[in-house]
Amino acid sequence: MPGSGRSSRNRGRLLLTVGIASTGLLSFAYLALASRELSAVDYGHVSLLWSITFVILSVLYRPVEQLLSRTISDRRARGLKGHPLRTPALIQAGFALVFLAIALPLRTTIEDELFGGSAALYWILVVSVLAYAGSYFARGWLAGHERFAGYGGLVLLESTSRFLFAVAAAVGITSGQTAIAIGIAVAPFVSMVVVPFALARLARGGSDPLPAAGEVAVMDAAGEGPAHAEIEEASQDLSLGRGSSFAVAVFLIMLAEQTLMNAAVLIVERDSGPALAGFVFNVLLIVRAPLQLFQAVQTSILPHLTGLEAREDAGQFARAIRVTVLAIAAFAGACALGLLAIGPWVMETVLGDKGFTYERGGLALVAVGMGFHLVAGTLNQAALARGRAQLAAVAWIVSALLFVAWVASDVVSDEVLRVETGYCGAAFILSCLLYGLYRRPA
């Protein structure tokens, strides 16, 4: 029944939000425990491993996740069954092989220059990146089919298993840098336990449950099914050329976003060493935790917007964007006020005193930038749903390049303040560019 289908999807979105919210908290807790258990230098290497790993994951694998989510949801909105997976699987495997072809020859350089000579951290990086290829492919499939409860369970299992490695070190079962860091490599294997259950549930519910009545496909003149032209167009959505074009554009978007999140850590590590880099990483946790939570919105809003675009429902499309942006503005404003009031005390209490001082004005500035970043993420999903991935990529690249140029310069002598102001300014420019694209006529 239509009502039960819609209710099931709403429950799935709730479980997705709970799962990803818990994931954000557990990821923060994992890093907080690591920060307290390790020396400043050892924690700097672990935080650098974390940054590099998730930069690579987002850049290499999120494109295929978004490709699967958009294409499957578009075909379902049009009433089409069957979603070819061969092309995205080939793209995903190709990305993993490219990583391996680069990482293996550079082993000595990576170990010595990034991880202080630690072979263990190098192999944790390699195993993690390869293992996450399957995890991100599963996320795209689950999102496209609106199996949000399964998606939430996958990321919750991932973060929980990783967090337990930090707990083991905190209570004395294990100790040291490697014992904590290895959780990053184990997590994707544990998360895949969800996939067989999701496949079994989908099989019990039919080959491909379609949206509720009133949400399905454009019909032909006789009202007998999707128009032939629509079928022909959708059947080519995952051709290698079209799929690769979309994936490359999202690849550039993910690369630019991760540049905003992690380039500052790398630049500071190069100029001032791992201790200050770890401190900058901690400052940017103000952004990382909300962005992780926002994945719940991104995961559910892309298939939703894609369906609305397929049905040419401009009013509901605009309403979804407006409601999301207003919620982000309220959240970011509350975070900024909270950080102005008690930000330094909270950061030092949770993450420990590493010999540097958190400035409340700078923390609040990062929170404002986080709000612009989340708005940009929402407008980016609108661009992807409308097939404007290439233009969106240009906006992201411009903003990321401006951010790197600012952080690498000496315009502001205080390196931490330079990162804080640069991030807020780049996020503001990005949101403005994507808003211009959103307002652009079809």
Report phi then psi at 265, rounded to 5. Answer: -60, -45
Look at residues 155, 121, 114 and name the one whose alpha carbon lies nearest to residue 34.
121
266 vs 403: which has the higher pLDDT: 403
Mean pLDDT score of the chain: 82
Look at residues 30, 14, 40, 294 and name the one whose alpha carbon lies nearest to residue 149.
14
Show Cβ contacts of residue 437 under 8 Å, excluding neighbours closer than 6 positions.
379, 383, 388, 391, 392, 395
116-143 pLDDT, tens digit each: 888 999 999 999 999 999 889 988 888 8
Report how far apart, in Å, the C-alpha atoms of 200 and of each of 150, 182, 194 are. 11, 31, 10
Residue 281 sits at the vertex; the CA angle it makes with 366 and 412, to the nearest 5 degrees, is: 60
Find where tokens 């040419």 sit. 312
297 vs 233: which has the higher pLDDT: 297
> What per-residue string of b and e applies to 421-442 under the rule 16 or more CB within 10 Å gives b?
bbbbbbbbbbbebbbebbeeee
Look at residues 219, 188, 223 and name the one whose alpha carbon lies nearest to residue 54.
188
18-73 pLDDT, tens digit each: 777 777 788 888 988 988 888 888 888 888 898 789 888 888 898 888 888 888 88
- Please tell me the distance from the alpha carbon of residue 311 to that of residue 217, in angstroms, as a whole number: 7
Ordered DSSP codes for 121-132: HHHHHHHHHHHH
Find where tokens 């675009």 sit. 309
Give the domain ranges of the chain.
Answer: 2-439
Binned at pLDDT 50, 70 and 90, residue 12 comes out as: low
Q: CA quadruple 233, 237, 242, 246: dihedral positive or negative?
A: positive
24 vs 416: which has the higher pLDDT: 416
The full length of the chain comes to: 442
pTM of the model: 0.74
Show the tokens assigned to 109. Answer: 């350089």
Structure confidence at residue 300 (pLDDT): 76
Task: With both helix axes pointing from N to C terminus, report the angle between 2-37 and 274-283 in degrees, rounded to the nearest 10.
Answer: 150
For residue 235, pLDDT beyond 70: no
Structure confidence at residue 396 (pLDDT): 97
Find where tokens 């190098």 sit. 122
- Please tell me the distance from the alpha carbon of residue 232 to that of residue 236, in angstroms, as a whole number: 7
